[in-house]
Amino acid sequence: MKRKHVPLFLLLAALICLPFVGAQGSGTPISDFSYSINEGQVFITGYKGTGGDVVIPSEIEGLPVVSIGQTAFLDNLKVQSVWIPRSVRRIEFGAFSGCSNLNSISFAYGLTSIG
């Protein structure tokens, strides 16, 4: 009986991981982001791109992106989805405030604090 569940489990695991496959390869240009560097870590402080599907980079200047700052995407009506990599540990309060067209945020393991 238990062996019957193994294929179903594997299928479900694959479907859960599917949104993350290929997401990093289709990255948003780093020039679309404002950021600060402190103690070898990158903090996203703003976004000035054209919107649509935004992929937060896992590294900028060879350093890990660890946080999306307060008001980083404030009132951005062009962003529809955001993919957040494993390196990001924190999303500050209000980071996506007023983004009325944002309909999905996907994130990998690693996120430890929102707000």
**pLDDT at position 99:** 92
Ordered domains of the chain (ranges, CATH): 2-114 (3.80.10.10)
Q: How far apart are CA 36 and CA 40, in angstroms?
A: 10
Distances (CA, A) of 19 to 7, 55, 89, 90: 20, 12, 19, 20
Q: What tens digit of pLDDT does each residue of 58-111 get? A: 999 999 999 999 999 999 999 999 999 999 999 999 999 999 999 999 988 888
Q: How far apart are CA 76 and CA 94, in angstroms?
A: 12
Query: What tokens were used for 9?
Result: 């489990």
CB 96 within 8 A of CB 106: no
Distances (CA, A) of 12 to 15, 18, 19, 76, 110: 5, 10, 13, 34, 21
Q: Sorting pLDDT into bands at 50, 70 and 90, what band is 26?
A: low
